[in-house]
Amino acid sequence: MEMKNVEIKKSVLDPRTKLFMLLLCVIGAAAAPSLRYGAGLTALVGITGILCGYRRAALTGMAGYALLYVLTLLAADMTGTLKTTLLAAFALFHKVYPCGMMGALFIVSTKVNEFLSAMHKLRLPKKAVIPLAVMIRYFPAIGEDWRYIKDAMRMRDVSPTLIGFIKQPVMTVECIYVPLLTAASKTADELSVAALTRGIENPNPRTCLVRIQFGFADAAAAAVFLLYVAAGLIL
């Protein structure tokens, strides 16, 4: 019987590279010397997202940071307690925003089998890899539950927006947020059981149809992020 050739694809960036970039992003955001530096870091994450094929999400993320940047500049011209409160809140957002963008890119662009294969090559212990693998699948699953709950509650004229919460606070919490918390708890248990059923604890080397290896794109992306973060720490 003739065997058919299986096409082995190569992802744009290796999961290990994206994990390294996420670590650098956390360091860079924590030590950001100025707003411009944070904006540049967010732009780097956005460009990475575009190159990975997530153009719309990357542009939306950069537009959101641009709005945050403008609001911060406007708050800096205020006076009194309001200025202090807004700047403190915006400073926290500036620290978290690029890390959140990079984390979202890592989750949506990394499949569980690719991640497990990459972590196996790093020889990381299963106790550290399994929770991370479940987490990668957890957030998309919660997103699906959130969309299902919103669609169902539209039939009862309940909206999860701020205006809907102000109009019907009790109904919004009862019909949207309580089911979401319940679904989040059940999803965690279901994903853990599913991972064990599919043999996530199997000690044998994992196979993957995606070629997990470092390439020129990985070296270039890691070098750009490393140089940018190093410049922020030194300058």
Q: State the pLDDT at residue 8.
A: 53
Provide the 8-state DSSP code for 211.
Answer: E
Q: State the pLDDT at residue 3.
A: 41
Contact 137, 81 (CB under 8 A): no
Contact 68, 93 (CB under 8 A): yes
Enumerate the domain spans of the chain. 10-111+211-235, 125-209
In sequence order, which residues have a C-beta less than 8 Å from that of residue 95 and are 6 or more positions away? 29, 30, 32, 38
Q: How far apart are CA 98 and CA 25, in angstroms?
A: 7
Provide the 8-state DSSP code for 2.
Answer: P
Q: How far apart are CA 214 and CA 5, in angstroms?
A: 23
Between 187 and 94, residue with greater pLDDT: 94
Q: How many Å is the maximal CA-CA distance in the chain? A: 80
Q: State the pLDDT at residue 137.
A: 82
Query: Which of 39, 210, 194, 214 lies closest to 122, judged by CA?
Result: 214
pTM score, two decimals? 0.80
Please write the tens of the pLDDT for every residue from 191-203: 777 777 767 667 7
DSSP one-letter string for 111-170: -HHHHHHHHHHTT--HHHHHHHHHHHHHHHHHHHHHHHHHHHHHTTT---SHHHHHHSHH
Q: Percentage of residues in the chain with pLDDT exceeding 90?
A: 38
Decide: residue 81, CB within 10 A, 0-12 exposed, 13-18 middle, 19+ buried. exposed
Q: What is the mean pLDDT of residues 94-123?
A: 88
Hey, which bits of the chain come out as E strands?
9-10, 210-211
Q: How far apart are CA 192 and CA 116, in angstroms?
A: 15
Q: How far apart are CA 217 and CA 209, in angstroms?
A: 19
Would you state the structure tokens that stand for residue 189, as one six-digit string?
Answer: 């248990």
Would you state the structure tokens that stand for residue 151, as one six-digit string?
Answer: 């669609």
Please write the tens of the pLDDT for every residue from 10-46: 668 899 999 999 999 999 999 888 999 999 999 999 9
